Structure formats: C-alpha cells, structure tokens
Chain A
Amino acid sequence: MHKAVIIGGSAGSFRVITRILHALPKNFPLPVLLNLHRLKHVRSGFVEALSIKSNIPVIEPYDKESIKAGTAYLAPSNYHMYIELNKKIALSTEEAVNHSRPSIDLSFETAAHTYQRNLLGIILSGANKDGARGLKKIKDSGGTAIVQDPKECEVATMTEAALKMTQVDHVFSTQQIIDYLLKIK
C-alpha cells in the first residue's frame, strides 16, 4: 500500500508534472513530494506556475514542516529537502550532490528510509543522472519504482540512468503514470 509519492525530474519535466497535478483529485489520499531541478535565483513563480492547474495545494515547505496527505511539497530552490522519520521535512544547504541542490537522490533516499515499502518513486524527464541512486534505494527498501518512458521524454538522460541502475516496476507514459496514480485508494 502506498503512503507517499515522490517525483524527481529536471529539464523537460515541468509539463509532465503540470499534467499530473492537474489530473490528481482534490482529495488525493497521499502526500506528493516533488524535487525538480530549476534555476537557483528564481525563487518565486515556480510554485505559482505549478499551482495554477493543480487541484491539490502546492507549497514550498518550511523547515520541519509536517507532511500531510493531499498536498504537494516542492523542494525549495537551492536547498536539499530531506524526508524525516517523523514525517516532517528538513531543509539544508549542505554541499551540492552531483552538482545538484536540491538533490533528488537525497530526497529519494531519505523518503525510502522513512516510508520503506510504502513509497512510490517516479523519475521523469531530465538532463542529468541525479535520482538514479535514490530510485534504487526506494526499490531496495521494498517500495515501487516507476520511470517515465524515455521515448516520451524531452531529455532522457535521467530516465535512462535510472533504468540502467534499477530493475524498475513500470516504464510508463505520462498518461499511464496518471492512470496509475488515480487508482490509488
């Protein structure tokens, strides 16, 4: 049974994530954790852009904010976002990992540690290899791993790296990802 969804992506993932958020119902039963690479200095605007079409609230969490179902938490620009055992979010300015801050790997790994087999991890279109190690950790912890079909991705580096490292559960198109999420009760 899934208790949380975590999604990572970079270049080319914005439209995909917008579609997913648009499709999720207001009472979506899980928290949605988002870690998307973007420009550092653009602090605002991104959350607003994602909110426009989303039926669930999209927020950039404060440090130590509690995670609730039916809300999307976007890793703030230039911070790592960790998912803590007490189901809270922790932010940090520690070193970039693979040139990334936020690092998808770090969010995925800590979420895997917290949610174990109840975590659903999704890697979308992206231009570097961040996320591959994190998705493996989700799978190794008994969670479910989905990767967007590289054929559909604007940039396939991230999805291909993830597929190379992990025997994932599903390779899905955006529509199939949406269908899967909508079946979650």
Chain B
Amino acid sequence: MSKQEIGIVDTRNVLKAIKETHDLDFKNHALTFFKRRLEHIMEKYSLRDAEVLTDKIKNDKDFFEQFLKEMAIETTELFRDPSLWRYLKDKFFPSVLKGPGSYKIWFPEASSGEELYSVAILLNELGLLDKVQLVAGSISRLRLDGIKQGRLDVNKMEVNHANFKRIFNEAELEDYYTQRGETGYIKPDLLENTEFTLQNTYYDKPPRNVKLIMWRNQMLYFNQILQERLLKAFCHTMVPGGHMIIGMNEKIDYWNSGKDYILVGDNENVYKKRFS
C-alpha cells in the first residue's frame, strides 16, 4: 500500500478521538511529526484513510495498544553515541556514585529499552549496579511488557556490538544477552532493581528524588510548549545537583532555563539542576 497523506483536519479528528476515547492528549506533540507518524501507522496497518484510523482508535482496543507503541519512538540501539557512554563510564558515574546513599535514575520513555539496558550494563561493569534504582516509564503497555522481558531487537546486534567495543576493551556483550530464535533477551538480573511505570503523560506523577533523568531524543517529538512544561516538571522532581541527559542535537532553551539547568560535561549533552 502506498503512502497516504493525511490532512490537517484529519489530524485534528484523530487527536480528538484519542482525547475523547482514551483521555490521552497528543496535541502538544510536534504537529508535523504526529501527522507523519499517523501516515506511517496507516501504511503499516494498511488503513485506507483517516476515517478508518479514527474508527479503529475509538473501537479497537488492541489496535490502540499498537498505536501507542508506535508513538513511543524506539531508542534505536545499545550505547548510541559511544563517546557519551565513555564519558559516563570514565567520569560521570564514578563521580556521582562515589558517596553513600541511594541513586535513582529515571527513563521517562524507555520505549524499546536500549537506553535502560545500556545504563544497567555499564553500571554492572563498574560494579555499581547495586547502588542504583532504575525507574523505566512508557506511555505504551506493549513497550513496557517488552522491556520487562528484556527484549532486544536482534537485527541491531551488529551495531550494538560495534558500539560496545568502542566503550569496553575487555568485556563481551554476549555475556549480557541470550538469543532465542529471532529475539534477544537481556540477562534478567540486570533489571532486578528496575521499577516499571505506565504513564498517561510524562509529567503526571513523576517519581520523586530522581538524581538522573535519561531523556535522549525524546524532546524531538514535542512542540515547545510541551518541551518547556516537561523540562520544568522534570527539574522539579530532581534533587538539586541532579542531572539530565538529552540527545546530541537537542537543547534546553526556554526563557530563563539557565535558572533551572546548566550544561556540564565535556562536549556531551549533560545538564545539571542548579542548587538554589
């Protein structure tokens, strides 16, 4: 089926259907992204037009779960941007985990799991995994089910291994997963200390006393209104001096954002919540 183009009126109708039927609000997703995503979903599920899509959103529960999964954009691969992970391994984690006390790391949208798995593997290599509590959120139940099982897309193993080799000299990625048929599974003990939370929004009831938020390449999909709202909510839920890591081509840049966050960390997009 060739790609359907969906108009602005159709897009609004879909937004309305989601809001009315499921009480979820996508209106502050970046509009063109949202529209494109709808087209992608229509193509993938062979839906004839926006009317069929709207109808399925309203009446087909299983389809709507798939829909939410499609809206939680994948995190692409393990150890994406190896230089960041080298920085986390050599400098960041050894420094922030030096003292006693608990250390909570939040992944507001863990999606396909790679960021969560990467942090767990890295901390395990550093012998620090026991010192942290991981909290993995998602708007998609299917995504959460996937990461609870430690699922890993084996089609990406080549790049996963290549990234891993750029960070660890001695260790082997093979030690961290098993493969059964077409699916890989992360070793379950890595996620023993992980809490999973299904969320309606990302700002609704965030976990408290968070010390690190891993939020790479998620802002891309929101407009500036929602970006700012989330950045402020996340700042609020972090302890002073806590950190936020965003994608390489993202910025924290709202009016007076310098009062909330400062950029730290050699060329990596690591921000710190100001004390004050």
Contacts and interface: CB of A to CB of B under 8 A. Distances in A.
Given A93-B220, A94-B40, A41 B162 contact: yes
B32 A90 contact: yes
Nearest to A88: B32
Contacts of B32: 82, 84-85, 90, 110
Contact of A63 (B74, B75, B220): B220
B81 to A, nearest CB: 6
Interface string B151-171: 000000001001100100000
Interface in B43-71: none
Nearest to B251: A62
Nearest to A89: B249
A93 B36 contact: no
Please give me the 8 A-B residue pairs with the lowest Cβ-Cβ distance, nearest first: A93-B217, A63-B220, A93-B76, A62-B249, A76-B249, A84-B32, A62-B251, A91-B220
Contacts of A61: 249
A85 B7 CA distance: 13
A95 B74 contact: yes
A4 to B, nearest CB: 17
17 contacts: A41-B163, A41-B166, A43-B81, A43-B248, A62-B249, A63-B219, A63-B247, A64-B30, A79-B217, A82-B36, A85-B32, A90-B33, A91-B217, A91-B220, A92-B73, A92-B220, A94-B37
Interface string A89-104: 0111111000001000
Interface residues of B, number: 28
B221 interface: yes
Contacts of B82: 41
A76 B248 contact: yes
Interface string B231-271: 00000000000000001111100000000000000000000
Given A41-B166, A82-B32, A91 B76 contact: no
Interface of A: 40-41, 43, 60-64, 76, 78-79, 82, 84-85, 90-95, 101, 110
B166 A60 contact: no
Interface string B201-233: 000000000000000010111001000000000
A93 B249 contact: no
Given A92-B33, A94-B40, A78 B76 contact: yes
Contact of A93 (B30, B40, B74, B83): B74
A60 B81 CA distance: 15
B36 A64 contact: no
Nearest to A85: B32
Contact of B250 (A40, A63, A82): A63
A44 B197 CA distance: 36
Contacts of B249: 60-63, 76, 79, 91
Contacts of B73: 92-94
B249 to A, nearest CB: 5
Contacts of B74: 93-95
A67 B159 CA distance: 32
A62 B220 CA distance: 10
A95 to B, nearest CB: 7
Contacts of A79: 217, 249
Nearest to B216: A93
A55 B266 CA distance: 29
A83 to B, nearest CB: 10
A40 B159 contact: yes
B131 interface: no
B80 interface: yes
Contacts of B76: 78, 93, 101
A35 B248 CA distance: 18
A144 to B, nearest CB: 22
Contacts of A110: 32
A177 B155 CA distance: 39
Interface string B1-41: 00000000000000000000000000000101100110010
